[in-house]
Structure 1
Amino acid sequence: MPANLAKTLLSPDNHSLLMIDHQYLQMLTIRSHDASEVINHAVALVEAAAIFEVPLLTTTAFKERQGLVAPLAEASKAVKPIDRTTLNSWEDPRIVDWVEKTGRKKLVIAGQWTEVCVAMPVLSALDAGYEVYVVTDACGGASREAHDMAVKRMVQAGARPITTWVYVSELQRDWARAATAEKVTKLFAQRGGAFGQGLLWEWDLLDLKEGTR
């Protein structure tokens, strides 16, 4: 029997988004990815969450010494980060309480570092019965191996890997959804690199701009 896609795919009303510790010190130590790409993807996730009205929480560690990276802080300024001391954010009851209050059993997570501050809450949330999706290109680790092994460990435990533009596409799903189509197209164009520019070109070719559908 084919999978029930309505249950398998993410939609704006079935998940919440948790962004963990996209801060300057962590970003300076990232060696698994280009830090600018991680920042760009993190901001794209937050902007997509705003477009689709997905519940969003950001977290920091020792914020008095380092804040969120500026583009992410600007994109998420409507959200007050939870500052904590625990390596595993799932051990902070404020964060678990926020997740529970959303009433949503799917949880999308991205953050720094993949092998510590992402892997621990992902594994904990899985143990707590949540369906967890990890946005791998909006995460970064101390080395490529550290990142890759963390992703493998999370996947083996039941987490579902996803990337930024797959996430955005999954939420839009249909360009006939005019309420978000133009904003999503602009998001792709601004932050999607060559892929985003290709989409914009295709959009022009198909004459799908505002007011044509």
Structure 2
Amino acid sequence: MRNPFTADDAAMLLIDHQVGTAKLARNIDHAHLLANARALARTAAETGMPLVLTTSQEDRFQGPLFDDLQQIAPDAHAARVERPGVVDAWTYAPFKDAVVATGRKRLIMAGLTNDVCTVYPAISAIEDGYEVQVVVDAGGSPTQEADDIAVARMRQAGVTITSTNQVMAELATDWASPTGQAIQGIMYEEILKPLVEG
């Protein structure tokens, strides 16, 4: 692979990982979803990647961000972009401004739900000239059909579809490097440990 995303040239965007929106992700196990979201947040925090968090209508059923995200990335949590209800986060100026401020043109996105909260900003960012990877298993949708349709729509628009382990391995580049060792540790603790030791 000639030009992989790296921790030095990509930014991590986590969209609407809120306690209420998580209830709408019915096509994925919630423990698996949370582990993947934690792994992405930790990867950004522990490698120095820019991490942008956003929420929608925290005072309604969507609720606050997962507590884990505040614990993992307190600064990013404090700086989160609280949207009043704009569906396509990319069209909400404070969110887009926060992404632009990272200086990165390669974006890794995950969100809840894939079929509403992720599909639109992913496509909008592509239209604005960004390279975008969407981590499908760090999100979910009310049905598998809805998730499949969102993935197909994003892929058709030029979004690269990926998984948590896959994008983490891409960012690692070399497991023996300092970045690779850090990411490998996160992957093991958050995702692989139950498989290896279970």
Report the TM-score, using the length of structure 2 for normalisation.
Answer: 0.90
In structure 2, what is the equivalent of residue 34 of structure 1?
A: 29
Partner of 1:52: 47
- Distance in 2, matches of 1:132 and 1:184, equals 20
Whether contact under 8 Å (2:13, 2:107) holds in the other structure is: yes
With normalisation by structure 1, the TM-score equals: 0.84
Which runs of no fewer than 5 residues in structure 2 stay unpaired? none
For 2:179, the equivalent position in structure 1 comes to 180
Larger radius of gyration: 1
Contact 1:190 1:196 in 2 (8 A): no
Identity, in percent, stands at: 32
2:106 alignment partner in structure 1:
106
Residue 71 of structure 1 aligns with which residue? 68
Aligned AA (1:193): L
Could you say what the CA RMSD is over the residues aligned between the two structures, in angstroms? 1.7
1:139 matched to 2:136: no
**Structure 1: where are the runs of 5+ without partners?**
199-213
Provide the residue aligned with 1:190 in structure 2.
Answer: 189
- Secondary structure (helix, strand or coil) at the match of 1:117 reads helix
Once residues 23 and 94 of structure 1 are traced to their aligned partners in structure 2, the CA distance between those partners, rounded to angstroms, is: 19
Aligned length: 192
Query: What are the within-5 Å matches in structure 2 for residues 152-163 of structure 1?
Result: 152-163=152-163
Alpha-carbon distance in 2 for matches of 1:197, 1:54: 28
Runs of 4 or more, structure 1, over 4 Å off, are: none
The equivalent residue for 1:90 is 90
Q: Distance in 1 between matches of 2:128 and 2:190?
A: 34
Q: Report the 3-state secondary structure (helix = DSSP H, G, I; strand = E; otherwise coil) of the residue aligned with 1:16.
A: strand
